Amino acid sequence: MDQNERKMAVEIAQVASAFQKQRTGHAPKSVTVVLSEDTLVVTLHEALSPAEKALARSSEGAAKVQEFHRQLFQNAAESLRHEIGRITGRKVRELAAEVETATGTVVHAFTTGTMVQVFLLDGAPPASVIHSAPAPLA
């Protein structure tokens, strides 16, 4: 990742964290950004509130939390889409959000028409591939 991509990743992480805090009132613990040729994946770690984590302990509650976050994202994503376009200089053509309720991770996957599969792995990622930042204090 070159210096310009690293700078964009940091700015995207900050914007995504602020977006999550504004929408839900709960900032993620950290944000990971992976930027490749035509795909941007933003992962918000520990983004669920304690109440959402408690609700997600049952399969029915987990489904409600997932749907709630999908709807929030779809209804409020225009400002995030605009900010990502401003930062990257590229138009966001597609977007999606998925919540992993067991860990409280929220993944936003933005693609340009390509199917994206996201796998959350254990352990530390190689620093040369991603940028991970703690959520800004607010």
pLDDT digits (tens, 9 = 90+) for 2-51: 888 889 999 999 999 999 999 889 898 889 898 887 788 888 888 888 89
Please tell me the pTM assigned to this model.
0.78
Residues 6+ apart with CB under 8 A from 133: 10, 13, 14, 17, 30, 31
Residue pair 87/11 in contact (Cβ under 8 Å)? The answer is: yes
CATH of the domain spanning 3-116? 3.30.980
Question: 102: closest CA among 54, 31, 32?
Answer: 54
99 pLDDT above the threshold of 60: yes
Sequence ranges of the domains in the chain: 3-116
Over residues 51-65, the mean pLDDT reads 90
How many whole angstroms from its chain centre is CA 24? 13
Residue pair 83/17 in contact (Cβ under 8 Å)? The answer is: no
